[in-house]
Amino acid sequence: MWFPRLPSDRVLRARAQVTANDNRPFVLTHHEKNTDRIYCLNRAAEAQGLHRGMGVSDARAYCPELQSQPADTVADARFLQMLARWSKRYCPWVGLDGADGLMLNIAGSAHLFGGEAAMLDDMRHRLARAGLSGHIAAANTRGAAWALTHYGRAAHDDIRTLPVAALRLDAKTDTALQRLGLRKVSDLLALPRATIARRFGPDVVLRLDQAMGAQDEVITPMGEVPHYGVRLTLPDPIGLAADVMMGTERLLVRLCDKLKEQDMGARQLQLTLRRVDQGAQQVELRLAAPMRDADRISPLFERGIGAVDAGFGIDQMRLEATQVEPLLNAQITTATASRPDGLDDLITRLGNRIGLENIQRLLPADSHIPERSFQIAPAAYSTSNGAWSRHRPRPLKLFPPEPILGAGSQPPTRFRWRRMSLTTGRSTGPERIAPEWWLPDEAWRTGVRDYWYVETREGRRLWLFHTPQNPGWFVHGEFA
């Protein structure tokens, strides 16, 4: 199967009025060498004389009503994966062929669809209904199938009559062959093999053999992507929170078994509760650490399930691990036995109330700037490690610098701060801290700071700084 217009078909399919847009020229663009170029185009655009690689502004000049959209290659690749999964309905042996094709090994499954021709008809029909333009062909070898999809005119062309480019050769070899008058595969077959190999390298012979079936070529089938979802359909609708909890526990046991098989742990879970009236309610659970222990996870769902409106009852439940992380079996030793596992559960519980990223821990950072000498990291996504360097006494609290009145390079003897009038009793300093010029920071625009530890007669012990390059005094922190 070859989908020559896969990206544009995908985008047009997703649009609401596919049929309305169908006969209007549409292109996908990508940015290359400072210009937007056409990446993929639909049939209508091709009919207007546009082609791939053309500048978008040129194309607009030819065709003013052209619609365009930037291309998304990642989504295209995902779409092709999806198509591959869909085509497993025909045979289990499905491989990707480049960025826009699929290879199916239908030997042994064609008869299930009433023969090769009926199967291809079925594929064509279904793809056309889905709005995809695909070239489909069946052949005895992978190379021949590729040649037929890309270059074949009729359904059962003979590969010998196809141009040499159908042998999956690179452009340079193709041109060289054409220049010698070898236009068709049959021309190439008429030549002695040794001559071809000597002249064009072993690649041409290999491709020729692969197409004719003299050389084996395998299809690498796609691996099955593990899916962590389980569901439960109930004969009678339920509405009590306790019943929903019980159902969730059952689902969790099954999900955790799945996770255990793959050595994975869930990081984020989504429970979808479908109601009798077709409405659906979702409960999300973000865990502070990868987990696959049903007994530990189920109490964490309590709060979310309590908030669900069951309406006339819930008759279908679906639990999916939307985010998983590798979690290997760990050996229990004396060192790990006392590990505070319950702390992760607590972080999860709190996180589901106030947001998982709002539970934070402090990590050391390599900087002498007071505000940047530590990092604030979400506790669920970080581990506490690293050593804290303690050189000089630092205040317990830091706040954004608050300006006070003062002049000169010595701390002011009397000043007002936060509606208090304070008298300097003793001051220690200065300690000069220079801004990190390689990191732009708005607060440090005033240049170097001379920090003073000021003990006031009123008791408050403050961290003051003076900016000599841009004279001013500020309070930046408070000591014990």
Partner 1 sequence: MTAFESHFPPMNTRTHEVCGPSAYAFAFALAGRVCRTGADTVLWVREAWNGTQLNPLGFAPYLDPQQLLIAQAPSHIDALASAEEALRSGRISLVVMELSQPIGLTEGRRLQLAAQQGRAMGLCILPEGMGSNAAQTRWHCAPVFDAKARADSTLQKWEIIKNKSGTLRAWNVKWDAQTCRINVVSEAAQR
- Residues at the contact surface with partner 1, assessed by CB under 8 A: 338, 340, 342-343, 345-347, 349-350, 353-355, 358-362, 364, 370-371, 373-374, 376, 379, 384-385, 388-390, 393-400, 425-426, 428, 453, 455-461, 477-480
Q: Collapsing DSSP states into helix, strand and coil, what is residue 339?
A: coil
Asked whether 345 and 290 are in contact (CB, 8 A), the reply is: no
Min dist CB 76 to partner 1, Å, is 40
**5 residue type, one letter:** R
Cβ atoms within 10 Å, residue 297: 22
The DSSP symbol for 369 reads S
Min dist CB 130 to partner 1, Å, is 46
Min dist CB 325 to partner 1, Å, is 21
- Write b or e for each residue in 226-259: b if 16 or more Cβ atoms lie within 10 A of its Cβ, otherwise e: eebebeeeeeebbeeeeebbebbebbbeebbebb
- Which CB atom, from 156 or from 457, has the smaller least distance to partner 1? 457
- Which CB atom, from 330 or from 480, has the smaller least distance to partner 1? 480
Min dist CB 421 to partner 1, Å, is 14
Asked whether 444 and 455 are in contact (CB, 8 A), the reply is: no
- Which CB atom, from 312 or from 399, has the smaller least distance to partner 1? 399
Min dist CB 78 to partner 1, Å, is 36
Question: 3-state SS of 196-265?
Answer: HHHHHCHHHHHHHHHHHCCCCCCCCCCCCCCCCEEEEEEEEEECCHHHHHHHHHHHHHHHHHHHHHCCEE
Q: What is the C-alpha to C-alpha distance for residues 107 and 91, in angstroms, rounded to an integer?
A: 8
Min dist CB 265 to partner 1, Å, is 20
- Which CB atom, from 74 or from 335, has the smaller least distance to partner 1? 335
Q: Collapsing DSSP states into helix, strand and coil, what is residue 13?
A: helix
Min dist CB 345 to partner 1, Å, is 8
- Which CB atom, from 360 or from 469, has the smaller least distance to partner 1? 360
- Which CB atom, from 367 or from 469, has the smaller least distance to partner 1? 367
Cβ atoms within 10 Å, residue 359: 18
Report residue 407: phi and psi, to 5°: -140, 155
- Which CB atom, from 48 or from 358, has the smaller least distance to partner 1? 358
